[in-house]
Amino acid sequence: MKTNKNEFKNIAITVARLADAKKAEGVAIYDMAGRSELADYVVVVTVDNPTQLDAVDDEISINLKKEGFYAIYRDGMKSKNWKVLDYGGIIVHIFEKQAREFYSFDKVYAGYSAIKWEEKTAAQTQQRGSKTARQQDSAAVTVARKPVQKKATAASAKSKKTAAKKAPAKKAAAKKAAKKAPARKAAPKKTAKKKVSKKKR
């Protein structure tokens, strides 16, 4: 049965996670995007010592055999710093750290896109969810506060304008009242004079 590219991608992710389980570092999957006849994906892994090199090799080989996948080619079985496992659509490079740096292996695949392979734990998912919820809450509070501030400013501006209009009106009313007051006082004096003149006649 022929394995398609999507299945090779899933196998490559499995290989990356198996290597990670054995404390490998710098685990990377590169998508060859049809630019290589050798493989669809390349997995690169870094180990600290020969013991870990063998442990990662065994972890990958044994678990893929359980799934029915066998390496069609293996190289570096006697090497203490580099092993290659070829699964047809996937090539796995297991490097000792200094060998990976010496050959600048990642620069060879610098132009290829990297595939995400890390699993999100439940704790990370919850943490992300709580962060998103907090961000949404703070955004809602900010949005709720802004209109209140604008309304308060508008209301205070209106009250100031109203007060400014009422002030001259009050002054004008006070002036009118002051003018009318003397006229009312003068009226009784005139009536008093008229009464006097009547008595003389």
> Could you give the CA distance from residue 133 to residue 107 in angstroms, rounded to a whole number?
40
pLDDT of residue 148: 44
With residue 84 as reference, give the H or E element that holds it: strand 82-86
Look at residue 125 and tell me whether its pLDDT is greater than 70: no
Counting residues of the chain whose pLDDT is more than 90, the rounded percentage is: 35
State the average pLDDT for the chain: 73
Q: Which CATH number fits domain 5-118: 3.30.460.10, 3.20.20.190, 3.30.1360.200, 3.40.50.720?
A: 3.30.460.10
Q: What residues have CB less than 8 Å from 197, skipping those under 6 apart? A: none
Say which residue, 138 or 109, is predicted with more confidence: 109
> Each residue of 37-53: pLDDT tens digit?
888 999 999 999 999 99
Joined tokens for residue 117? 């392979």
Pairing of the two strands 73-75 and 41-47:
unpaired
Q: Where are the domains of the chain?
A: 5-118, 153-193
